[in-house]
Structure 1
Amino acid sequence: MECADNSMVEEPMSPTGRGMEEMGICIVLMMGLGAPVNLPVFRDGIETELVTRLPRFHSIQVMDESTYGQPRWVNTDVNVDDHIVIPRLDPLDVASDPEKAVEDYVASLSLLPMDRCRPLWEFHFLDFPTSESTSTVVLRLHHSIGDCMSITTLLVASSRSMANRARLPAMPPPPKRTGPIYQPPARPPLSSVHYLALFAWIWSYFVLVWHTLVDTALIVATILFLSDPRTLFIRAQDHGESSRRKRFVHRSLSFDDVKLIKTAMNCTINDVLVGVTSAALSQYYFRKTGDSNTKKIGLRSCVLVDARPVSTRQTYVTRVETGNRLSGLMCPFNIILQDDPLEYVREAKRFMHRKKSSLAVMFTPVVGEMLVKYFGIKAGTFIFHRFFTHTTIIYSNAIGPAEKMKLCGHPVAFMAPSIYGQPQISVCRL
């Protein structure tokens, strides 16, 4: 790609970013606003807050001959007006069903290419009310710019608290665990009276090694031959336009209800949300297919994990990082109707606890970067695509603020991130 500009080279694109570029994965983030769109105010906010805060928002991807054709990020001048889209929708469709009008328009974005001669992001403004908001703004950007965690962090860092406009929105309290997912227990004293504790400490390392070997073998088998059964969640590839079209639907849950279940079942918020998603997709499957309610279908999911070492969330918000820093866990995902709805949460708690005693999540990003570095972007992307096509669903999380915020002068009612370009369905939780 060649574009005319008078910019200077910043840095080469990371292996993960090159993989996202090759696969064509993009992020779509829907934001419901609590007020009608004041376009001049929002535009000024984009220019002063977002574009200046994240280098990728004023950079383009170019091929540099001095680096043997590897893409690099290059600074360029940004005209914010080129990144603002105000679509013209049928007034009758908007009046009859505004939610469906928003969903139809956002789904159409998955079929539209992005202009690669300018930074790969754009804002779409839908200035009509829905059941959850007064207006809707859709941010679409290429995944090579950053992951959902870095993008939502950018938006929070560019916002102000509704309670106090002089400060950033407050973030949830930091998690108890601030280190890696697997944290071995402390070694007990070397004395005869503590021999059982010492044996348990040694045994924990055997369990760690065994789980890591099993998880690694499953990942390799998935890339080579092990594939999930075909269900309605995996669309048959016909190499046509319909095979690339994605639909984006969001639902809001009461966080107080989620915390109540978390406390009662002694699990994590992530366990509750995975269980709720499993229950919803199971009910959807049996309602759409009419299969026997006693049928059980074993599928697998890829749970994306933020690999950034963060001590507190508030300090992370104040230092927005660039790029993608992701790892993943491959977890079972069963389609089944349970008599007890809480059994979905218990199942999620079991397999997530099991995954915490494995180092596979630490090896995944390292191996991925090595594949791209030593075998080339084509080979690395082929392997990633094989893994994605052999699994069914992607889970991802993004941490939002603990209070209402105002972005670019507009109160935000909700944010709903998602992605397209991957072969599986995606479930993103904020």
Structure 2
Amino acid sequence: MGSFDDDSAEQPLSPTGRLFLHPKWNLVVHCAIGFKNPIDIDAIKYRLKTSLLLSHPRFSSLVVRDSHGVEHWQKATHIDLDRHIIILHNPVSTASQPVDHETAVNDYLADLSTSPGLSTDKPLWEVHLLMAHNCCVFRLHHALGDGVSLMYLFLADCRRANNEEKLPTLAYGKTRGKKRVDSSIGKGWWVLLIGFLSMVWFNLVFVVEFVMRSLWVCDSKTEISGGDGVQLWPRKLATARFRLQDMKLVKKAVPNATINDVLFGVLSSGLSRYLEHRTPNALPEGLQITGLAMVNLREQLGLQELSDMMKNNSPGLGWGNKFGMILLPIYYHKSNGPDDPLAYLKRAKVMIDRRKQSLQAYFSYKTVLSTMPYLGAKVTAWLNNNIICNTSFTISNIIGPEEEITAAGNTVTYLRVNSTTGPHALTMHLVSYAGKVDMQISVAKDIIPDPAFLANCFEEALLDMKEAASRNATISN
């Protein structure tokens, strides 16, 4: 991302930003923020006017195209907040009977996911205030940045609920790199050689796998399979809720496991439960179901560091879209099989450990950077659309604040994210907040008509793993 030292200068969009603006994609991120108290419209407007958001060049620029059709950012001469803030005073209701707040907000987000994209005659963001539901929905084009950068920008203007003077805190494992170095000390050269050869092998295998998926290899059809054009189908949303403490308890049951290992174990178990319910005894044991997981590739910044850099208009923040994709194979297993609940976690850990040794995420990111300048937006969009059509679901995971926060002086009760979707019939976005993890499950409702039941399958999968982990801990003691 270039700096905007000259406000009159036009800055080219990044290759990833151009991809997200392509008509075949046109991705928009929706961040739902629940509030404890009624929304104060004037406070929201004042906070936006003085926020880091409006001082960021991307949020005060228009997308324009030159004579060759290449997109550029052009500094807007004026930001009219009234065009960006959409206020809905009446309750959201798509049914004959009133619905609860969560269902109403999810219904609203589902409608947004298939609505027309953001208008390009203004900067590519909006704020929707659902007054009857104490909810604010940020609608942001993915060309502005990925989930991590947008979360950082939002949190830089928030404060802790228990201390209005302090920024929120994030936990992203600052010591992981040090642990890897320390763990290698004292090992024999043959162990390091085997590790190196293993890394080379998995890089080769996973890169070839990614290329094959981009061209012709595809999953077998199941009850959750989408396909080209499914992005236009009506959507439904449901929310699965987890306690971070439960995930940490399960993590301890398997040596060296991580929260992500637990997450993917829950994903495998929950999808197996759901598919068994939809098609009893119809799928072969061990059937591979492949997803796409989004992986952040940037160095993590502290919120105070980010805030200082933004205020000083420092260039080179690593902003925009800097993430890669990894193929995430999980396997269908019947619930009456011999496996205990923790077997899903153990299998997930083996799979994730192998993926960590590869550069598949970097390869996917660099592929977009390479194909866009040389092959153009049409070919790049086709390749990326193809890999979605050849897989079964998308999942992303964003780390949120560890404690409760306030935004515009109002305590936040939840943070949830979803987006407009590609050809997948199933997309899942997770955000952690104050010891809780919410998964927004977006489905093509003509393919997956019961997302609430699917959410329950994921929740029960974690609870079963927690029970098994507690039993193991009791026996070992």
**Is TM more than 0.5 here?**
yes
Where does the alignment leave 5 or more consecutive residues of structure 2 unmatched? Answer: 1-6, 311-316, 432-477
Amino acid at match of 1:165: E
- Shift in Å, 1:116: 1.3
Structure 2 CA distance for aligned equivalents of residues 48 and 94 of structure 1: 40
Corresponding residue number in structure 2 for 1:104:
107
Cα distance change of structure 1 residues 318 and 344 upon mapping to structure 2, 3 Å threshold: farther
Cα distance in 1 between the residues matched to 2:331 and 2:261: 14
| Correspondence for 1:57 | 59
> Which amino acid in 1 is paired with 2:331?
N
Deviation for aligned residue 1:187? 8.0
- 2:53–2:153 Cα contact (<8 Å) kept: no
Match of 2:475? none
Q: 1:366 to 1:288 in 2, by over 3 A?
A: same
Alignment correspondent of 2:295: 305
Paired residues of 1:182 and 1:359 also in contact (CA < 8 A): no
Shift of 1:256: 1.2
Q: What letter is aligned with 1:288? A: R
- Counterpart of 1:359, as a letter, is L
The 8 Å contact of residues 94 and 101 in structure 1, kept in 2 or not, is answered as no
- Shift in CA distance, 414/380, structure 1 to aligned 2, threshold 3 Å: same
Q: Distance in 2 between matches of 1:384 and 1:223?
A: 7
1:128 aligns with 2:132: yes
Contact 2:326 2:361 in 1 (8 A): yes
On the 8 A contact 1:42/1:410 being kept in 2, the answer is no
By how many angstroms is 1:94 displaced? 7.1
Which residue type is aligned with residue 121 of structure 1? W
Partner of 1:270: 260
Question: How far apart, CA to CA, are the structure 2 residues paired with 1:302 and 1:90?
Answer: 32
Match of 1:234 in 2: 225
Unaligned runs of 5+ in 1: 1-6, 130-134, 189-193
Aligned mates of 2:414, 2:97 — CA distance in 1 = 20
Q: What does the per-residue CA deviation read over 1:114-134, in whole Å, with 9 as the maximum and x for residues that have no partner?
A: 2111111111122235xxxxx
CA distance in 1, matches of 2:289, 2:415: 28
8 Å CA contact 2:17–2:142 kept in 1: the answer is yes
Partner SS for 2:43: helix
Partner residue in 2 for 1:198: 189
Counterpart for residue 255 of structure 1 = 244
For the structure 1 residues 247 and 348, does the alpha-carbon distance in structure 2 shift closer, same or farther, using more than 3 Å as the test? same
Question: Which of 31, 34, 38 is 2:40 aligned to?
Answer: 38
Checking the alignment, whether the CA contact within 8 Å between 1:178 and 1:311 is kept in structure 2 is no
Secondary structure at 2:50's aligned position in 1?
helix
The percent identity for this pair of structures is: 27
Q: What letter matches 1:167 in structure 2? A: K
Q: How far apart in 1 are the matches of 2:91 and 2:303?
A: 39
Describe the superposition over 1:241-280 as per-residue Cα deviations: whole angstroms up to 9, x where unpaired: x834333322221111111112232311111112222222
| Aligned-pair CA distance for 1:313 | 6.7
Does 7-16 or 301-310 show the bigger shift?
A: 7-16
**Relative to 1, partners in 2 of residues 1:327 and 1:419: Cα closer, same or farther, differing over 3 Å?**
same
Q: Secondary structure at the match of 1:125?
A: strand
User: What residue is the counterpart of 2:416 in the other structure?
Assistant: 416
Which residue of the partner structure matches residue 4 of structure 1?
none
Change (3 A) 1:303 1:428: same
Change beyond 3 A, Cα 1:367–1:96: closer
Q: Deviations over 1:179-219 (max 9, x none)?
A: 9x99797587xxxxx8xx11222222221111111111111
- CA distance in structure 2 between the partners assigned to 1:372 and 1:182 by the alignment: 35
The answer as to whether partners of 2:53 and 2:154 remain within 8 angstroms in 1 is no
Deviations 1:374-420 (A, max 9, x none): 11111111111111111112221211111110012221111111222
Task: Give the partner amino acid of 1:280.
Answer: G
CA 1:47–1:311 in structure 2 vs 1: closer, same or farther (change >3 Å)? closer
Residue by residue over 1:324-363, the C-alpha shift from the partner in whole angstroms, topping out at 9 and shown as x without a partner, is 0001221212232344222222121110001112222332
- Number of residue equivalences: 407
Q: 1:211-226 to 2 correspondence within 5 Å? A: 211-226=202-217
> How far does residue 292 in structure 1 lie from its aligned partner after superposition?
5.0
Code of the aligned partner of 1:375: L
Change (3 A) 1:232 1:420: farther
Post-superposition CA distance 1:304-336 (Å, at most 9, x none): 111102365764576574310001221212232
Separation in structure 1 between the aligned mates of residue 364 and residue 283 of structure 2, nearest angstrom: 36
| Aligned residue in 1 for 2:389 | 389
TM-score by length of structure 2 reads 0.79
* 1:357–1:184 distance in 2 versus 1, CA, 3 Å: farther
